[in-house]
Structure 1
């Protein structure tokens, strides 16, 4: 793996490396240790000190890498029912599956649902406007409080909520989304008096 990563960094000069893996599982046992992650992260920073690396380079702890990513559970029904068909992480919530796409090859383009869970960490202490762009339905919770409730099926639309957030504090976030038929979209943006509107960036999202 080290040789392949060296070739990747030397040849393509990426700004960000995103590792995917459930490194903290013990059942089944995963032999990847915190020291393995430390060595790999140190090696990568030796190749390029400016690389941005997500926390799955190690054991997905707050001390590993530069950022975490929200957990994503994907269901093959529109009710978030049963066990998720796919579980993974997303660097952001920024999707336009439209008519023919879906979150995963094993998921149909109609009648699926997704749940993202993690935390959001603002840079400033301000009242933020959280904005969703969704089709068909969406709900958003911040710190356990439902702030966007748009669960009646609709064409692609925008919903907004005003939420006070504290700089450097990790506020829990949960986003539930479902697609029945037609176009499928799900985007999560934020803005504040000192923050122009943007997709909530991966650097401000965490798995926990």
Structure 2
């Protein structure tokens, strides 16, 4: 995992500080409740299921979609099988144009552009499946979402997008 940002026990909570009548009030919110990450960093959410239902067990920021958990659990409190991870980023693609989406996963992976599915390799497999999809992305801001599911066995996933010339 390549988490981005601060870490450590002293920074395990996001603090809100306010003064009221000369008193200092501090309230903490769990770091796992991160709501956004600065582009081009992905917001990453871990689920204890493959349907992405319920509240994520952990949320953080990730510089890249590139993980190899093997047969281990991806995060504390998650099972080693039957888990899901979702990466989301909204960024400005400038004038847009042709991009190559390169992905590899064992087991399932789906890629969405503005909530429209562009890649669907959603099956339990015994080896890593690789694919490159050529896609024209319109100009302006767009949201990319990568959904990954591990049903059984080894877990690995990677996704990248690069301009095509």
Regarding TM over 0.5, the answer is yes
Gaps of 5+ in 2: 19-34
Instruction: Please tell me whether residue 19 in structure 1 is matched to residue 9 in structure 2.
Output: no
Q: Which residue of 2 aligns with 1:36?
A: none
Structure 1 or 2: larger helix share? 1
Give the aligned partner of residue 85 of structure 2.
114
Give SS of 2:120's match.
strand
Structure 2 Cα separation of the partners of residues 177 and 147 of structure 1: 14
Q: Which of 56, 78, 84 pairs up with 2:56?
A: 84
Give CA deviations for 1:115-144 in whole Å, capped at 9, x if unaligned.
112224447743111011111101110122
When the two chains are superposed, the root-mean-square deviation of aligned CA atoms in Å is 2.9
2:17 aligns with one of 5, 16, 31: 31
Equivalent runs, 1:58-207 vs 2, <5 Å: 67-100=39-72, 102-122=73-93, 125-154=96-125, 155-165=127-137, 169-194=140-165
Gap change, CA 1:173 and 1:150, over 3 Å in 2: same
TM-score by length of structure 2 reads 0.71
| Paired residues for 1:33-48 under 5 Å | none
Which structure is richer in relative contact order (CA contacts within 8 A, separation 6 or more)?
2
More strand by share: 2
> Does the C-alpha gap of structure 1 residues 146 and 117 become closer, same or farther in structure 2, counting only changes over 3 Å?
same
